[in-house]
Amino acid sequence: MNTLLEQLRELDWRLDFDPGALSRGLAYASQDRVRLLSLSDKAIETSCEGSEGHFYTQLIRLAPKGLGVVGRCSCPVNFNCKHCVAAIAHLLALPPTGWQVPMPFSERQVDDLQPVPQLILGSHAQSQYDLRSGRMVGSQQHRAGLLFDYGGAQIHGKTAKPERVHHRVKGERLAIARQPKAEQAWRDTLRQLGFKEALRQSLALPANSAEMFELPSDEHWLHFMREQLPTLREQGWQIDIRPGFQFDLTQVEGWYAEVEEAPGREWFDLELGIVVEGRRISLLPVLLRLIQRNPELLNPQHLQRRKDDEQLRLQLDATRAIDGRPLQVMLPFSRLKPVLTTLGELYHSDQDPTQSLRLSRPDAARLSQLEGLDLNWQGGEQVREMARKLRDGGKTVINPPKGLNAELRHYQLEGLAWLQTLREVGAGGILGDDMGLGKTLQTLAHLLLEKEAGRLDRPALVVMPTSLIPNWLDETARFAPALRVLALHGPGRKKAFERMAEHDLLLTTYALLPRDLEQFRELPLHLLILDEAQYIKNPTSKAAQAVRQLEARQRLCLTGTPLENHLGELWSLFHFLMPGWLGDSQGFLRNYRNPIEKHGDATRLAHLNARLKPFLLRRSKEAVATELPAKTEITQWVELSDRQRDLYETVRLAMDHKVREEIDRKGLARSQIVILEALLKLRQVCCDTRLIEDRGARPPRGSSSGKLDSLMEMLEELIAEGRKVLLFSQFTSMLALIEDELRKRAIEYVQITGDTRDRRTPVQRFQAGEVPLFLISLKAGGTGLNLTAADTVIHYDPWWNPAVERQATDRAYRIGQDKPVFVYRMISRGTVEEKIQQLQGQKAALARGILDGREKEDWRLQEEDIDALFAPLPRLA
């Protein structure tokens, strides 16, 4: 009797094995998988048939001092495995007489069993650091694993010599001969379908579980799953698709859109989805989660690079009816592009995924982009009709009013049609045409159409800068004499308040409206129109607060510069036009201003453009007024005089020190007033030293202004050539110094500043050709003047905002101009003026991005800009 086996019988040897090995080993023992190879007092050697016909050898001993069983096995586990359990259990179940006789296995030879090919498909998602972008990027790996099934035994890999597969079927052991030619034929089939052997390991399928193959691209995988896999199934291939395989797809049967309108409400709900296995499934929560993980999907440039036939895989919030696996579909970018473009900006908030989106009525304009997707629409007839009208508003053929004494140009007819469309759908908008394209005329035509249609049963009110009252009176009398107009201006206006309802058109000013608010608040209006609407760019100003309190069926803004400095100004206009549509100011700052202005976010810019487009009509003269002559812009460089150079350096050093101290104390953002004050002094020195010199002190020797000297030479030459000149400066004190020089040279001129009461006379004299020169302060004359007699514009001193300078230039370069226009900007070389000119181009990028739909460049004032603005003058050569 063997001492080792007796000891094992007396010991609780099962405690030395983990539960998994114990249960699987006991099952192996009951299946007669163990054969005794040798037996001694100290060791047992056995052979055990493992999975897939593999045989492993076990050597079992007892550790000294009762420390348990030590079982070594040739299987991958090696120590105290299930095979060791099977060996011990098998031997202890035999009678002692059976311990002495090794019992060989008996197997039946099978030589003609043909294998069945099996293909396992799996995917693995991984993330890795991308050095170029500095971000973690995701990627997917996909593998096809090839196995050969011999009567239930699965084998893979090539064989160099005849080999048999050992397999047990219903207790019978089989030794099945592999069929290398058949196996190779199945490999060749995969290669013909485009597969190649995978040379790298992947977690898409377990290592050494099959022969690994791969395809070169997602497009090839898609083609294989749709076109080739069904053929393999027909040929008898077994297909095992593992959970998570990216291309385990379900057919999309159709697309739908459902709109639920709320009667009398300013919002509607939109659900957009697909039909799969006969079920409607909303795409919105799936897309929202996808976009939150991959925000680049909303990038317009990224979408543009995607081909229409490219596919995006989506895992839906539903399972397959057959096996309960998550439904996966592939959607073409030809359909996704309009969806993402239309709804993209609505995904920026951190909202939870929902079956539908709640949209404001003005956002119905975006639905027109979905019309070409062959959707099954349900509900929403009113908002869809609104979308179609806004889409086609400017293209609608419209007849001008009969009472209009003017022939509208093609773009003015489009503007009139657009204004009428906004009125039809109950929306406001910004007519943002360039100066000189006839915004006033288009508005008068709109008012006349309303009157002739019988809809002008309440007055229309136009709020404007004081200087524009005469212009509106003149143009109404000239182009729309049928309109009964009343100007509520001057000290006698209060007597006319009781007669306001009798008129078609009321005119007032931004300065007077807050004072007369009680009178206007009691008066229902048909239209409320803001001319030069940038006057309410500060939403907390008295004028902005006043206009928002008036009641009107439609609100309109007229401005050639809807955006001058930052997006907050545009928000203020829309807060007047359609309160709440763009959210509150803080939400707009968070969702649009900061991403666009601080971070140059092209995606947010594109989405904001798309939302605003139906309600902002912007045309440039270059695009529509092709009859205008050429405009030439020239930078006239001038050198500072010696006196100016000395004073400039003195002021620069003092201001630089003051600004640095302020920035150190408060930071750059909170030091703007001190910075602008310092720059103002430097700009004044560039214009003329007398603007800041002590008038009581003895005047220094030398010229006070190299720029003024250069200007006089220019003017004498230009006037001698018969040119008609507009001269702009921001400083009325500078204009006074220029006047002194003009008198000395006997050059005739007229002038408008903020103190000018009679603006008509100087305009009429200049337009009639009585004088060759018009001096204008930039603030007083930047709007409301038609000076097409001029063919030359001179900007004596530059300012930050190029839009303001452009408005001034447009006094001459506008409809009616028939001469080439030359625009001179006088810049003192090497000074703060030169730096301002450079920053102008950067700042103009914000306006271009919003108004023209172009990409925004970075225009923020940085600390290096401060260094440049206060840099010392370059040395003279």
In this predicted structure, what is the pLDDT of residue 843? 57
- The segment with the largest mean pLDDT, out of 453-467, 669-683, 799-813, is 453-467
In this predicted structure, what is the pLDDT of residue 854? 43
In this predicted structure, what is the pLDDT of residue 426? 85
Q: Which of 111-125, 234-248, 460-474, 585-599 comes out lowest in average pLDDT?
A: 585-599
Q: Give the tens place of pLDDT for each residue, 707-741.
A: 898 899 889 888 887 889 989 898 989 999 999 99
Helix (H) or strand (E) holding 24: helix 19-30
- Name the band, by pLDDT with cuts 50, 70 and 90, for residue 157: confident
In this predicted structure, what is the pLDDT of residue 316? 80
Q: Give the tens place of pLDDT for each residue, 742-753.
A: 999 999 999 888
Confirm if 270 and 151 have CB atoms less than 8 A apart. no
Does residue 779 register a pLDDT over 80? no
- Name the band, by pLDDT with cuts 50, 70 and 90, for residue 633: confident
Does residue 117 register a pLDDT over 80? yes
* Burial annotation 73-103 (CB, 10 A radius, 16+ → b, else e): bbbeeeebbbbbbbbbbbbeeeeeeebeeee
Span 39-54, average pLDDT: 82
In this predicted structure, what is the pLDDT of residue 51? 78
- Name the band, by pLDDT with cuts 50, 70 and 90, for residue 782: low
Does residue 566 register a pLDDT over 80? no
In this predicted structure, what is the pLDDT of residue 494? 86
Confirm if 731 and 780 have CB atoms less than 8 A apart. no
In this predicted structure, what is the pLDDT of residue 697? 60
Q: Which of 232-236, 360-364, 420-424, 459-463 comes out lowest in average pLDDT?
A: 360-364
- Name the band, by pLDDT with cuts 50, 70 and 90, for residue 98: low
Confirm if 862 and 669 have CB atoms less than 8 A apart. no
How far apart CA 436 and CA 814 sit, in angstroms, is: 4
* Burial annotation 183-219 (CB, 10 A radius, 16+ → b, else e): beebbebbeebbbeebeeebebbeeeebbbbbbeebe
Q: Is 40 exposed, middle or buried (0-12, 13-18, 19+ CB in 10 A)?
A: exposed
Higher pLDDT, 76 or 114: 114
Q: Is 804 exposed, middle or buried (0-12, 13-18, 19+ CB in 10 A)?
A: buried
Q: Give the tens place of pLDDT for each residue, 382-406.
A: 777 787 887 776 677 888 999 999 8
How far apart CA 519 and CA 91 sit, in angstroms, is: 110
Q: Which of 150-159, 254-263, 447-456, 843-852 comes out lowest in average pLDDT?
A: 843-852
In this predicted structure, what is the pLDDT of residue 79? 92
How far apart CA 679 and CA 832 sit, in angstroms, is: 7
Helices (H), 329-429: 333-343, 381-392, 410-425
Q: Give the tens place of pLDDT for each residue, 504-547.
A: 999 999 999 999 999 998 899 999 999 988 888 888 889 999 99
Q: Provide the percentage of residues in the chain whose pLDDT is more than 90.
A: 26
In this predicted structure, what is the pLDDT of residue 587? 79
Confirm if 21 and 85 have CB atoms less than 8 A apart. yes
In this predicted structure, what is the pLDDT of residue 856? 39
Does residue 699 register a pLDDT over 90? no
Nearest to 535 by CA among 783, 755, 810: 783
Span 337-341, average pLDDT: 76
Higher pLDDT, 819 or 457: 457
In this predicted structure, what is the pLDDT of residue 853? 44
Does residue 703 register a pLDDT over 70? yes
Q: Hey, what CATH class is 427-624 in?
A: alpha beta
Span 779-785, average pLDDT: 68
Domain with CATH 3.40.50.300 in the chain: 634-641+703-869
Span 319-343, average pLDDT: 75
Question: Taking the model in full, what pTM does it have?
Answer: 0.58
**Encoding tokens for residue 476?**
């109404």
Span 304-322, average pLDDT: 76
CA angle 147, 152, 158 (to 5 degrees): 30
The domain made up of 634-641+703-869 has a fold known as: Rossmann fold (3.40.50)
Does residue 850 register a pLDDT over 60? no
In this predicted structure, what is the pLDDT of residue 857? 37
How far apart CA 758 and CA 161 sit, in angstroms, is: 111
In this predicted structure, what is the pLDDT of residue 860? 45
Higher pLDDT, 447 or 313: 447
DSSP assignment string, 171-196: TEEEEEEP-HHHHHHHHHHHHHTT-E
- Name the band, by pLDDT with cuts 50, 70 and 90, for residue 350: low
Span 157-165, average pLDDT: 79
21 φ, ψ (degrees, to nearest 5)? -65, -35
Does residue 430 register a pLDDT over 70? yes
Span 264-277, average pLDDT: 79
- Mean pLDDT for all residues in the chain: 82
Domain with CATH 3.40.50.10810 in the chain: 427-624
